[in-house]
């Protein structure tokens, strides 16, 4: 009996010692590689790991926790996985995957982990942001009502994009999707927008060409290029859009600036995600994509927004400080009314309302999706169409017919609409859309060779010239004032009796004439952002006189 008690005592002491030893060692933070291949690793141990946590492999590689299973975890390896061996140890860092952010990245070409690819030296930036962050809630946003000018006449007139909007660019390969995105970046030159171009699964030569074009047009002065080329592993292609979004978010949240993020393209990211999911034995769904592929894009694109302004009541002469004198920060439009009420009760003689200079920034997203044979109803295109605030559809038939940008205005749409246009553009864009709609309807009848009455023939002539007017060369974005004058000219019938082949030459010379001879007209439209009756009358007179000169010389 005594021996039995002694054994129990020894057992309890041993259990206690083992428990203490485990606490000191903290074995939950060390694991072992069971198998590795194709950019993924299965790891035994790491019981305390969390989804999205950064891992450090003994060989020096970095990984991210992807699957949390009963006896092991599935991780994706970022970068070269060929150096990882079975049995090597893996350490959990206790931190989510993050990237360097800040002004040091502007003008640089980096990989999705923020490592330089342009041979310009290390990026010295103390700030970092996690790749995955929560999208702002409803109260933290404000309506999209400020234009983001693309410089492309067809888009700014009929499918306007606002700051904080998500507008999808969709079409088959080689229809000019990247060209539209690059023109939009180039058009921000001299403005206040920081641009991030994320190239996913592109050829390295293509990415180099994009960077060279941006340099040529001095657009790299305000642009970051994040590149995960087709030769990079699937995990890097998967995280690239989140990395680009995190870099743009820094300027929006920390500096209150406006940003533009282009994801070129998300169909390749979805394919990379499908590859990882199938390798980690996640159940396949439609087109073999995993069930959460919708969430893959929705959690990325929902981070785009126009942030609401934060306000506080402070004593006269003081600068903004969170909370102000009453310990409260007022967010958004309802908050403004609350702040005004509070100011009234405290007295406007001693207190004033101040706006946080770091609030009110925006992140505009232009995701690109590549379709196969115009199949817009495929799984990924329909998913992204349902997430975004409209789409610009580029049609191969138009592209090959020489109508470039090859935008199909009939099925392209912006769900923000006129809210993202200046008054002058809003006034003339309505007639442009109607002219093109009438032209499309009548074009089919005209091909039958039937005799047309004068009114129908006039509509056909007007439509053909408006289509010609909307053609635009690549890397030649137009200032919004020039766009307004150009469309005003077409909508008011000045081109109707010109041969279609002369429309482009007439437009170019007419804009130069207005810019050089009548700068006050252009300045009036630019400053007031609208065409008054007085300006419209003067503009018609100027264009009419120029047309007489033009036809005489021709």
Task: Please spell the DSSP secondary structure of 317-351, one letter per residue.
Answer: TPPP-TTGGGT--EEHHHHHHHHHHHHHHH-TTTE
- For 337-362, what is the mean pLDDT? 90
pLDDT bracket for residue 18 (50, 70, 90): confident
Residue 204 resides in a domain: yes
Average pLDDT over the chain, rounded to an integer: 92
Residue with tokens 């993050």: 98
What pLDDT, on a 0 to 100 scale, did the predictor assign at position 447? 73
Residue 479 lies in a domain: yes
**Same structural domain for residues 205 and 72?**
no
* Residue 137 covered by a domain: no
Quick one: pLDDT band at residue 28, thresholds 50, 70, 90?
low
Within-domain flag for 116: no
- Whether residue 316 sits in one domain with residue 283: no
Residues 375 and 413 in one domain: yes
**Inside any domain, residue 504:** yes
For residue 10, name the pLDDT band (cuts at 50, 70, 90).
confident
Of 486, 511, 473, the residue nearest 182 (C-alpha)? 473
Domain enclosing residue 327, as ranges: 308-355
Cα 247 off chain centre by: 12
- pLDDT above 50 (res 25): no
> How do residues 223-279 score in pLDDT, each as one tens digit?
999 999 999 999 999 999 999 999 999 999 999 999 999 999 999 999 999 999 999
**Are residues 159 and 62 located together in one domain of the fold?**
no
Kindly state whether residue 409 falls inside one of the protein's structural domains: yes
Structure-block tokens of residue 282: 């996640």
Q: What percent of the chain has pLDDT over 70?
A: 97
One domain for residues 411 and 437 = no
Question: What mean pLDDT is predicted for residues 34-44?
Answer: 93
Is the pLDDT at 22 greater than 60? The verdict is no
Structure tokens at 86: 């079975």
CA atoms lying within 13 Å on the CB side of residue 233: 18
Strands (E), 271-406: 305-306, 310-315, 330-331, 351-355, 362-370, 390-394
Return the CATH number at 541.
1.20.150.20
Inter-residue contact 226 to 103 (CB < 8 Å): no
Per-residue confidence band for 414, with pLDDT thresholds at 50, 70 and 90: very high
Q: What is the pLDDT of residues 541-550, one digit of tens each?
A: 999 999 999 9
pLDDT at 1: 47
Which active-site residues does the annotation give? 415
**pLDDT at residue 449, rounded to an integer:** 64
* More confidently predicted of 554 and 378: 378
C-alpha to C-alpha distance for 74 and 44, rounded to whole angstroms: 9
Residues 261, 165 share a domain:
yes
With a cut of 70, say whether residue 172 has pLDDT above it.
yes
Give the count of beta carbons closer than 10 Å to the beta carbon of residue 373: 7
Q: How many domains does the chain have?
A: 4
Same structural domain, 188 and 240: yes
Nearest to 420, CA basis, from 155, 153, 150, 163:
163
Judgement on whether residues 401 and 332 belong to the same structural domain of the protein: no
Q: Which of 150, 550, 129 is nearest to 159 (CA)?
A: 150
Residue 141 DSSP one-character state: B
Q: Say if 458 falls within a structural domain.
A: yes
């Amino acid at each position: 009996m005594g021996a039995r008690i002694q054994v129990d005592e020894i057992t309890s002491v041993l259990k206690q010692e083992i428990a203490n030893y485990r606490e000191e060692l903290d074995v939950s933070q060390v694991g072992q590689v069971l198998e590795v291949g194709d950019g993924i690793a299965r790891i035994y141990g790491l019981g305390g790991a969390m989804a999205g946590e950064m891992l450090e492999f003994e060989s020096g590689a970095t990984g991210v926790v992807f699957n949390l299973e009963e006896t092991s975890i599935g991780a994706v390896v970022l970068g070269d996985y060929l150096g990882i061996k079975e049995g090597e140890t893996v350490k959990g860092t206790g931190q989510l995957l993050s990237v360097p952010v800040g002004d040091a990245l502007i003008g640089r070409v980096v990989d999705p982990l923020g490592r330089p690819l342009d041979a310009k030296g290390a990026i010295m930036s103390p700030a970092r942001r996690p790749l995955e962050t929560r999208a702002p809630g409803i109260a933290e946003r404000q309506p999209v009502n400020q234009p983001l000018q693309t410089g492309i006449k067809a888009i700014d007139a009929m499918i306007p994009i606002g700051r904080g909007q998500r507008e999808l660019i969709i079409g088959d390969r080689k229809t000019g999707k990247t060209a539209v995105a690059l023109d939009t970046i180039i058009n921000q030159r001299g403005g206040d927008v920081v641009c991030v171009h994320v190239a996913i699964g592109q050829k390295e030569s293509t990415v180099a060409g994009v960077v060279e074009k941006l340099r040529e047009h001095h657009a790299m002065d305000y642009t970051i290029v994040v590149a995960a080329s087709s030769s990079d592993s699937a995990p890097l292609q998967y995280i690239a859009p989140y990395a680009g979004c995190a870099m743009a978010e820094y300027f929006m949240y920390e500096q209150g600036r406006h940003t533009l993020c282009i994801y070129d393209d998300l169909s390749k990211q979805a394919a990379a995600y499908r590859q990882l999911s199938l390798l980690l034995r996640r159940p396949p769904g439609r087109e073999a994509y995993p069930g959460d592929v919708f969430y893959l894009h929705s959690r990325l694109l929902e981070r785009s927004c126009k942030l609401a302004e934060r306000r506080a009541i402070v004593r006269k002469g003081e600068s903004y400080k969170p909370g102000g004198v009453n310990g409260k920060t007022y967010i958004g439009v309802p908050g403004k009314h609350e702040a005004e009420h509070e100011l009234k009760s405290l007295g406007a003689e001693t207190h004033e309302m101040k706006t946080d200079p770091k609030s009110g920034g925006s992140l505009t997203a232009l995701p690109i999706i590549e379709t196969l044979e115009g199949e817009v109803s495929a799984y990924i295109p329909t998913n992204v169409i349902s997430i975004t605030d409209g789409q610009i559809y580029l049609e191969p038939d138009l592209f090959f017919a020489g109508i470039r940008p090859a935008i199909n205005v009939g099925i392209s749409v912006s769900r923000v609409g006129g809210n993202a246009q200046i008054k002058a553009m809003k006034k003339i864009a309505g007639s442009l859309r109607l002219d093109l709609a009438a032209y499309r309807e009548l074009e089919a009848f005209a091909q039958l060779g039937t005799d047309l009455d004068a009114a129908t023939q006039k509509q056909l002539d007007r439509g053909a010239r408006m289509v010609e007017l909307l053609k635009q060369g690549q890397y030649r974005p137009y200032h919004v004032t020039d766009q307004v004058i150009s469309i005003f000219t077409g909508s008011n019938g000045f081109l109707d009796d010109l041969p279609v082949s002369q429309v482009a030459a007439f437009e170019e010379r007419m804009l130069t004439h207005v810019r050089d001879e009548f700068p006050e007209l252009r300045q009036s439209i630019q400053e007031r952002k609208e065409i008054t009756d007085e300006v419209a009358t003067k503009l018609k007179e100027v264009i009419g006189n120029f047309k007489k000169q033009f036809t005489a010389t021709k």
